[in-house]
Amino acid sequence: MADCTVRGDIVHFIDSPTREDPKRGLVYIPNGLLKIRDGRVIDVAPFDQEVASEETVIDYSGHLIMPGFIDAHVHYVQADVIASYGKQLLDWLNDYTFPLERRYSDPELCRETAQWFLRELWRNGTTTALVWPASFKQSAAAIFESAYGANMRLISGKVMMDRHCPDYLADSARSSYEDSLELIQQWHGKGRLSYAVTPRFAPTSTEEQLNLAGRLMADVPDVYMQTHLAENQDEIRWVKELFPKSRSYLDVYRQFGLLSSRSFFGHCIYLDDEDRKIMSRRNATAVFCPTSNLFLGSGLFDLRQAEQVGLSVALGSDVGGGSSYGMLQTMHGAYSITQLKGFPVFPLQPWHWATLGAAKALNLEDSIGNFEPGKEADFVVIDPKATEVLSRRMASSETLEEKLFALMVLGDDRAIKATYILGVPKHSV
């Protein structure tokens, strides 16, 4: 594991900023040194010539050095679905997504796509992700295997779906339980990997399957849960028909033991006040997937209501519903949607969500999310002048906040100069 010292403008959070105190926890060390030993952060400090002359310094002067981004919801098996025209969720699933996920019964395609996908995450500065494979056990094994080979911190789990989907994708309640358990035994806690129990969404699981998913959550310590929730109006009507006795869509998951502080619910657009309060009380996380919500025409996430009850929020690219692997574009989408809702994110809020915020939501803040001593050295080097437009806009910005805001609005993969995992460069241009 790597030892290295890098020089640049270091930015990280040591606490969560709030709307009342929008720079709380922000640490900025212009011309600083980040020291890494055995893949962990030893120290961040202002540049010191004496220290620098004693060791080999990788010089990223003029670049930002930040904790690697955390994408809290992304489907690797949808790499070939991204940018498919014009359907809303349920048609998009049936017409594009299910037929393509079918191909991931092929272990060779799984391996090839998993490797390509991780490289694409790194090209975009993402170092940790909650990743969705398909319902085939081999598609989950492939992403775990690739991430393990790269020493990456990654969370995934086989999709569970035993009804209302094509036969070629359907598992059974029993087989999904057994396959999940087998994958947990193989991968959960191995290297930096964790397992997430992954029922696709309420409509594609029988009560028996949801029940067994809940049993996995109860029986296996530290396992996560990921699913989709309240993304689209037709989907919500369908859930009401299928589960007429449940108070709400969220309540279906609650009834089956799937609502906890380790639960990550993608989208959460159409929650009611009661849902938000219950989610907040249980410390569950809403994963805001802005580019997907725009692309699939799903709707506008209500940040005002989420903040009112102190709901934990993380950000997801949700490729292939989402239109970009980049967390910079995802942050930009978060601004656009909350602006349309009349309650825009404050400039540092998406930067926090994509780093320390997500680490806290995952209960991994002792391992990742910032540069406190002992943390795993996953970081990204960003060129704030990567394009003509960025360069010009940076010249007219005064504060760090202003720069970061412009960077998330104008930036993309061209701004990602390098991405390191445990102090090892995985992407560099």
- Interacting residues toward ligand GUN by CB under 6 A: 75, 89, 93, 97, 200-201, 228, 231, 292, 318, 321
Q: Give the whole-angstrom CA distance, residue 80 versus residue 34.
A: 38
Residue 231 binding result from Zn ion, ligand GUN, none, given CB thresholds of 5 to 8 Å by partner type:
ligand GUN
In the bound complex, what is the minimum distance in angstroms from residue 172's beta carbon to Zn ion? Answer: 23
Cβ neighbours of residue 399 closer than 8 Å, sequence gap 6 or more: none
In the bound complex, what is the minimum distance in angstroms from residue 100's beta carbon to ligand GUN? Answer: 10
| Residue 9 binds Zn ion (CB under 5 A) | no
C-alpha distances (whole Å) from 358 to each of 1, 129, 157, 348 are 25, 10, 18, 14
In the bound complex, what is the minimum distance in angstroms from residue 155's beta carbon to ligand GUN? Answer: 17
Residue with tokens 């270091």, as numbered in its chain: 10
Cross-strand bridge partners of residue 6:
34, 58
DSSP characters over 35-91: EEETTEEEEEEE--HHHHHHS-EEEEEEEEEEEPEEEEEEEGGGTTTSS--S--HHH
In the bound complex, what is the minimum distance in angstroms from residue 93's beta carbon to ligand GUN? Answer: 6
Residue 353 binding result from ligand GUN, Zn ion, none, given CB thresholds of 5 to 8 Å by partner type:
none
In the bound complex, what is the minimum distance in angstroms from residue 213's beta carbon to Zn ion? Answer: 17
Residue 89 binding result from Zn ion, ligand GUN, none, given CB thresholds of 5 to 8 Å by partner type:
ligand GUN
In the bound complex, what is the minimum distance in angstroms from residue 235's beta carbon to ligand GUN? Answer: 7
In the bound complex, what is the minimum distance in angstroms from residue 318's beta carbon to ligand GUN? Answer: 5
Q: Is beta strand 126-132 parallel, antiparallel or unpaired with respect to 69-75? A: parallel
Which parts of 253-282 interact with Zn ion (CB under 5 A)? Answer: 266
In the bound complex, what is the minimum distance in angstroms from residue 228's beta carbon to ligand GUN? Answer: 4
Residue with tokens 């241009």, as numbered in its chain: 429
Residue 97 binding result from Zn ion, ligand GUN, none, given CB thresholds of 5 to 8 Å by partner type:
ligand GUN
> Which of 267, 426 has the CB closer to ligand GUN?
267
Q: Give the whole-angstrom CA distance, residue 170 versus residue 101.
A: 11
Q: Give the whole-angstrom CA distance, residue 360 versus residue 193.
A: 17
> Which of 97, 146 has the CB closer to ligand GUN?
97
| Number of residue whose CB is nearest ligand GUN | 321
> Which of 240, 281 has the CB closer to ligand GUN?
240
Cβ neighbours around 14 below 10 Å, total: 13
Q: Give the whole-angstrom CA distance, residue 10 versus residue 38.
A: 20
> Which of 8, 333 has the CB closer to ligand GUN?
333
> Which of 78, 338 has the CB closer to ligand GUN?
78
> Which of 77, 193 has the CB closer to Zn ion?
77
In the bound complex, what is the minimum distance in angstroms from residue 396's beta carbon to Zn ion? Answer: 38
Strand ranges inside 161-243, DSSP E: 193-199, 224-229
> Which of 125, 266 has the CB closer to Zn ion?
266
Q: Give the whole-angstrom CA distance, residue 415 versus residue 429.
A: 10
Q: Give the whole-angstrom CA distance, residue 44 versus residue 8.
A: 11
> Which of 214, 266 has the CB closer to Zn ion?
266
Contact pattern for Zn ion over residues 294 through 323, marking x by CB under 5 A: ------------------------x-----
Strand ranges inside 289-328, DSSP E: 312-315
Tokens of 155: 């969370």
Q: Is the peptide bond before 320 cis (omega within 30 degrees of 0)?
A: yes
> Which of 333, 369 has the CB closer to ligand GUN?
333
Residue 403 binding result from Zn ion, ligand GUN, none, given CB thresholds of 5 to 8 Å by partner type:
none
Residue 164 binding result from Zn ion, ligand GUN, none, given CB thresholds of 5 to 8 Å by partner type:
none
User: Which of 64, 99, 91 minimizes the C-alpha distance to 380?
Assistant: 64
**Which residues sit at the interface with Zn ion, rule CB under 5 A?**
266, 318
